[in-house]
Amino acid sequence: GPLEETSLPLFYGWFLLPSVRERVKCTAMDFLKTLDTLEEFKSHMADFTGKAEKEVDLEQYFDAKTALHCTTKFCDYGKANGAKEYAQNSAVIKSYGSVSELSLTALFITPRTVGARVSLTEEQLQLWPADGEKEAESAVPEAASLPAGSRAHVTLGCAEGVESVQTGVDLLQILALQQPEEAKEMELGSLRYFGEGRWMLDLKEPIRALACFSSFYG
Ligand code: ACK
């Protein structure tokens, strides 16, 4: 009936609890501030500005997100492929409203987005959609061959005019590349440059963030 048709959300995901949001945002800001002052980053500044001499203020460059979450399934109110099947999945129904701990294991930036990589547990992977990576195949051909959950992330900010769906695509793109051996050891972890303005910081200490599995209607 019409009630059923309108009952699917825009997306399902884990929503970071308010108490941890601030901590994650502060860590992200520290990361951007630190990057901005690194000679290594400055030498690749043209990736962001198009010009070698021009400076970029990363804190201004990205429009910061407020309600931080890790999307599991984008349903588009039922219009997306597999939305209904996902909503009816027993693991999804059983876990709805429950709180679990997300492990944020890396921070990454590109000229388009800044985000945190989420490493899902076996239990959390039960809530990951079967087509989660494959869906991004048109943008990242290697996506389908990456392990399930590779796309899991928290979008922290987007550059002007960029949609947040890009963050997961940027993460998959980085993961599909061969990891450069050269890394800069920093207080927070190891920083690597993947070319074309793509940087990833593998955190020494993952950020443990409590999050509620739920959905967003908007
Ligand atoms: O930052 P995100 O993961 O990227 O969270 C938002 C959320 O859904 C609401 O827009 C994500 N999103 C948007 N479109 C898609 C899509 N086609 N596939 C997967 N995730 C999407 C977006």
Cβ–Cβ under 8 Å, residues 174 and 200: yes
Cβ–Cβ under 8 Å, residues 110 and 61: no
**pLDDT attached to residue 4:** 54
Write out residues in the chain with pLDDT < 70, as ranges. 1-6, 52
Which residues surround ligand 1 with Cβ inside 6 Å?
Answer: 10-11, 71, 74, 135, 155, 164-165, 167-168
Point out the catalytic residue in the list 65, 69, 117, 151.
Answer: 69
Q: Give strand pairing partners of 71.
A: 13
**Whether residue 44 lies in the annotated active site:** no
The DSSP code for 83 is: H
CA of 51 to the centre of ligand 1 (A): 31
Check if the interface score ipTM surpasses 0.85: yes
> Which sign does the torsion angle of CA 11, 143, 124, 108 carry?
negative
CA of 39 to the centre of ligand 1 (A): 33
Question: From CA 158, how far away is CA 96, in angstroms rounded?
Answer: 28
**pLDDT attached to residue 133:** 95
Of the candidates 14, 180, 163, the residue with the CA atom closest to the CA atom of residue 92: 14
Q: From the centroid of its chain, how far is CA 141? A: 19
In this structure, what token pair is assigned to residue 23? 């901590």
Helix locations, 44-182, DSSP H: 46-49, 58-61, 83-88, 90-95, 122-125, 165-176
- Using alpha carbons, list the distances in angstroms from residue 201 to 25, 87, 116, 129, 139: 15, 34, 9, 26, 23
Question: From CA 163, how far away is CA 175, in angstroms rounded?
Answer: 20
**pLDDT attached to residue 33:** 94
**Whether residue 153 lies in the annotated active site:** yes
Tens of pLDDT, residues 93-130? 999 999 999 999 999 999 999 999 999 999 999 999 99
**pLDDT attached to residue 114:** 97
CA of 167 to the centre of ligand 1 (A): 9
**pLDDT attached to residue 50:** 84
Which ligand 1 atom lies nearest to the CA of residue 115?
1
**pLDDT attached to residue 122:** 98
Work out the angle at residue 147's Cα, subtended by the Cα atoms of residues 115 and 93, and round it to the nearest 5 degrees.
Answer: 80
- Using alpha carbons, list the distances in angstroms from residue 213 to 93, 99, 100, 118: 10, 6, 8, 14
**pLDDT attached to residue 49:** 86
In this structure, what token pair is assigned to residue 78? 């039922």
Point out the catalytic residue in the list 21, 153, 192, 198.
Answer: 153
| Burial (CB count <10 Å: 0-12, 13-18, 19+), residue 52 | exposed
Place of tokens 């960029």: 162
- Using alpha carbons, list the distances in angstroms from residue 204 to 30, 54, 64, 105, 151: 15, 32, 24, 8, 20
CA of 171 to the centre of ligand 1 (A): 13
